[in-house]
Amino acid sequence: MSYVDGYVLPVPTKNLKEYQRIAQEAGKIWKEHGALEYKECAGEDMNVKFGAPFPKSLKVKKSETVIFAFVVFKSRAHRDKVNAKVMKDQRLNEAMGSSKMPFDPKRMVYGGFKSIVDL
């Protein structure tokens, strides 16, 4: 079964293009180092009638967009190896350039998940 790193974060909508640019570069780096899939998704239908909507759970402001993202690996061991390579890859810092982060990393929710259903 595969292993997934998942995260959800609010990004100021005015910074969405910059975030997308950085995520595009980051995704290429993760894939190059062995990730099986890399997805970054911008919230579109956030006014759900059941459960706890992402915006409410994250205390998202009207001027922010929710990002849901995940990276798929062969296993947790594979994830650990890939992430170690990615964190050492200087291109990740270069992708950020001299600009500050286009979001508040303290508001990012993150975790590693083992797959229990993989169709």
Q: Is residue 111 part of a domain?
A: no
Q: Is residue 67 part of a domain?
A: yes
pTM of the model: 0.91
Mean pLDDT of 35-42: 98
pLDDT at 94: 83
Q: Is residue 108 part of a domain?
A: no
Range of the domain at 17: 3-100
- Number of domains the chain contains: 1
Whether the per-residue pLDDT at 99 is higher than 80: the answer is no
Q: Is residue 52 part of a domain?
A: yes
Mean pLDDT of 14-38: 96
Q: With bands split at pLDDT 50, 70 and 90, how would you rate the model's confidence at 73?
A: very high
Q: Is residue 109 part of a domain?
A: no
Q: Is residue 90 part of a domain?
A: yes
Q: Is residue 69 part of a domain?
A: yes
pLDDT at 50: 87
Phi, psi of 7 (to 5 degrees): -155, 155
DSSP string, 15-63: GHHHHHHHHHHHHHHHHHTT-SEEEEEE------SSS--HHHHHT--TT
Q: Is residue 57 part of a domain?
A: yes
CATH number, domain of 28, equals 3.30.70.100
Average pLDDT taken over every residue of the chain: 93
Whether the per-residue pLDDT at 96 is higher than 90: the answer is no
8-state DSSP, 113? E
Looking at 3-17, 49-63, 95-109, which range is the least confident one?
Answer: 95-109
Phi, psi of 64 (to 5 degrees): -120, 155
Mean pLDDT of 94-112: 85
pLDDT at 98: 61
Mean pLDDT of 42-66: 91
